[in-house]
Structure 1
Amino acid sequence: MVDGSKRHNCVGTEAATVTYNKSLSHPGKTVTRPDQSNNPPNKSNKPCTHRYPNPPILSDPITCSNLIGPSSRIQCPTLSLYKAKRRRFHFSPAFLPFLASPSRKLEMAPKAVTFPAALPVVFVVFTLCLMFSASATAHDYSDALRKCILFFEGQRSGKLPPDQRVRWRSHSALHDGASAGVDLTGGYYDAGDNIKFGFPMAFTTTMLAWSVIDFGRIMGPELGNAVRAVKWGTDYLLKATATDGVVYVQVGDAISDHNCWERPEDMDTLRTVSKIDRNHPGSDVAGETAAALAAASIVFRSRDPTYSRILLNRAVKVFRFADTYRGAYSNDLHSAVCPFYCDNNGYQDELLWAAAWLHKASRRRQYREYIIKNEVILRAGDTINEFGWDNKHAGINVLVSKEVLMGKSPGFKSFQNNADAFICSLLPGTTHLEVQYSPGGLIFKAGGSNMQHVTSLSFLLLAYSNYLSHANHVVPCGDKSASPALLKSLARRQVNYILGDNPIKMSYMVGYGSRYPQRIHHRGSSVPSVRVHPARIGCKAGSRYFFSPDPNPNVLVGAVVGGPNTTDAFPDSRPFFQESEPTTYINAPLVGLLAYFAAHP
């Protein structure tokens, strides 16, 4: 989980204040938001600007030779990023000054790339693909795929199996769920902390399963490891949904966890259990959980038919619960899940997303009818260029469109229209462009941990290009069109950027290439392992490792960090969690992308 709020609220003209905690015993950040009770959302098309009235206060133990960064003025995102659920804008303070030591200065590009709408789309994307081509290298996608999947073993919670390959990790959280009388051991830590958040874990599992479904046949020797990564997630989700009408959605107290810097094997923070039920609904997290179970049932259909049936039957029950008892889980669990994984987008998209996966997994008519009946009611066409753990709209449209392109469900034609519009919103040089590109050609969207957008949107580009290829279709974008080859080219460019084809020649996958992040925001990676330091390292004792300028002692191979800011600048520093923290939902879509490009170099 990205420490602190994943998005910061921008309302009216109030200023947002961001300070960094000065205490060694409380590494991390505190976000103070203005009182918004009498401040209506900005509904105009004019961007608002905010100033940070005081610069961040850097912790005393950190030696900082200079602060590098552009103006403190921050532009709010356009109206297309407006979140209907909370009726607020959300933005990331991407232009905060960066921390740099004398030996680690940042390269700053002048401004983001923009393209005149009149330029032909093929020319513009071709230009993006050729950016920095003089230094572009031939990537070993197979090696990157192996490392990308290996990362998930470093995120495992619970009792580790004998074939565990990340050897510096050990058993952890062996009593999770005991306080509630249930077994909630296992699963994944979502990022650099020690909390198990059910919402992003379920999305991670769904995307791992989709990667195997679409690209498993070309994964070669890594297919078995990918399937095991899916099963580690679904085994936990089955435990979390074992009681009818209940879904356990979180283990651990995020506030106490974020006040400590300790490896998971030592953690002594509260392992509070949070759940949803009929009186405290959570259609969003329950819907995503149903989607994950249904998608995984396809993965195991021929490999383990009994397990596959268990997954599908559970998905049906969880979806029925999510649809019958509607509501956002953060309404009743606000203090536990916010500001970390609040439902900012509403639960409607997760219901459609779950129904789409249940239709694909079961082929039952009732789910097809549900999708058609609820397309408008559940707003399938809203925010069509968003896709991630909190917003499934683009994913729904791409997934359902395959049925249309294969000639199976003409009643889903509107979903194909939405999917086409999503593709056009990503293509530079069109009047439909709704994302920003950095000078180096990286997709950039508002919100923390930008690589989550890069990998998830690129996955959809690749998946949709394959569906179009099979149907011999192209995407119409006004007076231009985009071919499947063009979509693949743009997706490949994003993957290559992650692997090192970027202005600072940095691979954002740990352990891949000759230059990659050394000081990632990750407790287990940055604190000496139990094999090297068997004695316990307590909550506050770990702070010195958080503030240390030294590289992390344990290399979390395959971890993809949040990545550079909109100017392609990257601080290789733990305090800058939005840039230096890896997450499972960054890597999960990347598995499918790397599998395809390994087979089609």
Structure 2
Amino acid sequence: MIWIKSGRLPKNNGVPWRGNSGLSDGSDAKDVKGGLVGGYYDAGDNIKFHFPMAFSMTLLSWSVIEYSAKYKAVGEYDHVRELIKWGTDYLLLTFNSSASTIDKIYAQVGVAKINGSRPDDHYCWNRPEDMAYPRPTLAVSSAPDLGGEIAAALAAASIVFRDNAAYSKKLTQGAATVYKFARQMGHRTPYSLRQPDIEYYYNSTSYWDEFMWSAAWMYYATGNTSYITFATDPRLPKNAKAFYNILDFSVFSWDNKLPGAQLLLSRLRMFLNPGYPYEESLIGYHNATSLNMCMYFPKFGAFNFTKGGMALFNHGKGQPLQYVVANSFLASLYADYMEAANVPGWYCGPNFMSTNDLRAFAKSQLNYILGDNPRKMSYVVGFGKKYPRHLHHRGASTPKNGVKYSCTGGYKWRDSKKADPNLLTGAMVGGPDKNDGFKDSRNSYGQNEPTLVGNAGLVAALVAITNSGRGVGVTAVDKNTMFSAVPPMFPAAPPPPSSWKP
């Protein structure tokens, strides 16, 4: 994911055509010492959207907590931790993480006006290293959703970095501060509302899912029972409409955390079974998770699938694969939770579905992405013989030739019919349309643009499904690391009585 990094890169970054960029980011944020330098660009443009960036870090951290043995087996453990830390170091800059109370968060760096005619992150076509146009920061004073997601990201990462006590503590303290800000009464306006520079791109449709999601992560990170008490308060799933069987609420994504939060809380019930007073909500989350998994199967008709077999979780709109990988990760993870709990499967109505059925679904989706589709095309750059060569990505399409192109001077590379001079090896693009069709064109951003959130999901899904380093039975996942800060769920047994003496 070096191709999407911002900031001052190490000299041995492994991608010779990438260099330092965005070193003036946040220079207009006078209260941030050193500015908002670092983090990740969102996609083929050079904007840094903090909402999907935070979700991407949460997702990567979750995959490391569950599957550290797999990451070690494939030699990627240190690498993925470095990727997470690159993101969380930056997220700690987006608010005053050393304070206990804050009144704002920076939501993004860079803007793109719709059909704009002035230099900005969409109007210009420049390598990030060559940006010379204004990149304003955008701060928000109400962000229950963004604040909740940043809290989740920092809390999850604090578990990943338990072996670095000082950094883990820094993350949990920052998470507590931003969680408090997110939950502040009187500041419950979604972060994107009436924010045209955000709303068109990453509009948040609710914040109750982030409340549930962040509370679960805060509990696992700190062991503070106030978080699990809130996460299991029956009013929370009611406000989140978690048990209303709304189809789109079953799709895990950067905007909808409900399926992830429900699975994360089901984990507590499946492995620790705390009982009263948490059971009422936990069993609801567990049942909702099982129902969500049922919806993944074509036989039940919840979602349409392409003739080639791709699930249309976003109903045929652009960027379908980011939804495919995020939900394939959940499917694989739930199968492993069941195996670790010695449960062979679950019922979808009268139909018994096994853990192998769930893994087969996830594998079918990942195989589709990697080339088992009607076009016999891999949608991951550099994998296989046939993959996209004309990405909607400024850095990939513009050669590193010593020329610093002007804002519009880069159009010659945007409009070039030649293949990308710079290969985004390992990057997954947006994906095909509802008819399995795909246009390998730079103008086809809905299909041919790689995104941070999509590629974080791909990493998580692939590590979940791989057999490398895989445990069997109770070791299908790492059951214990997630609970390392959780106090005993029941009172300790009293000491034995002293020996009787007549």
Q: TM-score, normalised by structure 1?
A: 0.71
Pick aligned residue for 1:258 from 122, 127, 140:
122
Deviation at 1:592, TM superposition (A): 2.5
Q: Is the CA contact 1:252–1:269 (under 8 Å) kept in the aligned structure 2?
A: no
Pick aligned residue for 1:231 from 71, 85, 89:
85
Q: Is the CA contact 1:266–1:536 (under 8 Å) kept in the aligned structure 2?
A: yes
1:494 maps to what in 2? Answer: 365
Pick aligned residue for 1:366 from 219, 226, 239:
226
Structure 1's consecutive aligned runs of 4 or more residues displaced over 6 angstroms after TM superposition are none
Q: Is the CA contact 2:359–2:465 (under 8 Å) kept in the aligned structure 1?
A: no
Q: RCO greater where, 1 or 2, for CA within 8 Å and sep 6 or more? A: 1
- Alpha-carbon separation, structure 1, partners of 2:41 and 2:272: 40
| RMSD of aligned Cα (Å) | 1.4
The answer to whether residue 188 in structure 2 is matched with residue 326 in structure 1 is: yes
Q: Is the CA contact 2:296–2:302 (under 8 Å) kept in the aligned structure 1?
A: yes
1:335 maps to what in 2? Answer: 196
Pick aligned residue for 2:423 from 542, 555, 559:
555
Deviation at 1:544, TM superposition (A): 1.3
- Alpha-carbon separation, structure 2, partners of 1:353 and 1:596: 20
- Alpha-carbon separation, structure 2, partners of 1:216 and 1:454: 23
1:162 maps to what in 2? Answer: 11
The amino acid that maps onto 2:357 is L
The amino acid that maps onto 1:295 is A
Deviation at 1:469, TM superposition (A): 1.1
SS at match of 1:249: strand
1:198 maps to what in 2? Answer: 50
Pick aligned residue for 2:329 from 415, 439, 459:
459
Q: Is the CA contact 2:36–2:94 (under 8 Å) kept in the aligned structure 1?
A: yes
The answer to whether residue 437 in structure 2 is matched with residue 585 in structure 1 is: no
- Alpha-carbon separation, structure 1, partners of 2:80 and 2:108: 24
Q: Deviations over 1:358-397 (max 9, x none)?
A: 1121222101110111222333335441211111111111
The answer to whether residue 152 in structure 2 is matched with residue 291 in structure 1 is: yes
Deviation at 1:213, TM superposition (A): 1.0
- Alpha-carbon separation, structure 2, partners of 1:454 and 1:266: 34
- Alpha-carbon separation, structure 1, partners of 2:28 and 2:311: 43
Deviation at 1:459, TM superposition (A): 0.5
The amino acid that maps onto 2:307 is P
Deviation at 1:335, TM superposition (A): 1.9
Q: Is the CA contact 1:184–1:239 (under 8 Å) kept in the aligned structure 2?
A: yes
- Alpha-carbon separation, structure 2, partners of 1:504 and 1:222: 30
The answer to whether residue 45 in structure 2 is matched with residue 185 in structure 1 is: no
The amino acid that maps onto 2:449 is E
Deviation at 1:440, TM superposition (A): 1.0
Specify every segment of 5 or more residues in structure 2 that has no aligned partner in the other structure, as ranges. 114-119, 471-502
Deviation at 1:242, TM superposition (A): 2.2
Q: Deviations over 1:237-264 (max 9, x none)?
A: 0111226232111001222211111111
- Alpha-carbon separation, structure 2, partners of 1:493 and 1:438: 12
**1:271-310 to 2 correspondences below 5 Å:** 271-277=135-141, 281-302=142-163, 304-310=164-170
How many residue pairs align between the two structures?
A: 439
Identical pairs, percent: 40
SS at match of 1:476: strand
Deviation at 1:426, TM superposition (A): 1.1
**1:304-453 to 2 correspondences below 5 Å:** 304-324=164-184, 325-332=187-194, 334-343=195-204, 345-373=205-233, 374-382=236-244, 383=246, 384-410=249-275, 411=279, 412-430=282-300, 433-444=301-312, 445-446=314-315, 447-453=317-323
Q: Deviations over 1:184-233 (max 9, x none)?
A: 00000010000000111001111111111111211121111111010010
Moved more, 405-414 or 490-499: 405-414
